[in-house]
Structure 1
Amino acid sequence: MKIRTIGIIGLGALGTMYATYFTDKLPKGDVRVIATQSRIRKYEGTGIYSNGKRYDFNYVLPESQQQPVDLLLFCVKFNQLEQAIEDAKHQVGEHTTILSALNGISSEEIIGKTFGMEKMLYCVAQGMDAVKIGNKAIYQNMGMLSFGEKDNSSWSDKVTAVAQFFDLMNFPYEVPLNMEHRMWGKFMLNTGVNQTVAVFSTNYGAIQVEGEPRNVMIAAMKEVITLSQKIGINLGQDDLEYWLHVLETLNPLGMPSMRQDMVAKRRTEVGLFSGTTIALGKRYQVPTPVNEWLYQKVQEMETDF
Structure 2
Amino acid sequence: MIEAAMLWNEPNNKSHWDPEVDPEWTTYADCVIRAGNAIRSINPHLTRVLGGMSPIDPQWVLRMAGHGALDAVDVVAVHGFPLDWNLWPIHAWPDKIAEIEAVTDKPVWVTEVGVGSFGAEEVQVFGIRRTAELLIGRVPRIFWYSLYDLPMHWGAETRHREAEGSSYYRHFYMGLIREDGTPKPALEDYAKVAGEMGLMQWFHFEDPRLDDAVAWMKRLGTRTLRTGLSWADSFRPGAIDWFDRQMEALADFDVTLTFCFTPQHLGVAPHHTSAPRDPQAFADFCAWMVERYAPATPIRRVVTA
Query: TM-score scaled by structure 2?
Result: 0.29
Q: Normalized per residue, which structure has more helix?
A: 1
Bigger RCO of structures 1 and 2 (CA < 8 A, at least 6 apart): 2
Query: TM-score scaled by structure 1?
Result: 0.29
The structure number with the bigger radius of gyration is 1
